[in-house]
Amino acid sequence: MKLKVIVHEAEEGGYWAEVPALPGCVTQGETFEELLQNLYEAIEGWFDVEPVVLPDDTKTRVMDIAV
């Protein structure tokens, strides 16, 4: 899965980022490397919390994948 991420430089230093495709999925980091690590955690957490609505279709599967 590929997601677009918007990275901003924070006024007080460091960075913050948002994932437009995942409403409310934002995070920050003091360094760019920390921001990336926090992004992976934020995205994973977003999918853990958001309910998955499945169509009424017996061919539908739900799988865990690494992103």
Please give the tally of structural domains in the chain. Answer: 1
> What ranges in the chain are assigned the alpha helix state H?
32-49
**Residues 25-65 pLDDT 10s:** 999 999 999 999 999 999 999 988 866 665 665 565 555 56
- Would you say residue 40 lies in a domain? yes
pTM over 0.75: no
Above 90 in pLDDT, residue 17? yes
59 domain residue, yes or no: no
Domain span holding position 33: 6-49
Task: Tell me whether residue 36 is in a domain.
Answer: yes
DSSP 8: E
Residue 30 lies in a domain: yes
| Mean pLDDT in residue range 13-36 | 94
66 pLDDT above the threshold of 70 = no
Residue 18 placed within a domain: yes
Residue 11 lies in a domain: yes
Distance CA 58, CA 49 (A): 24
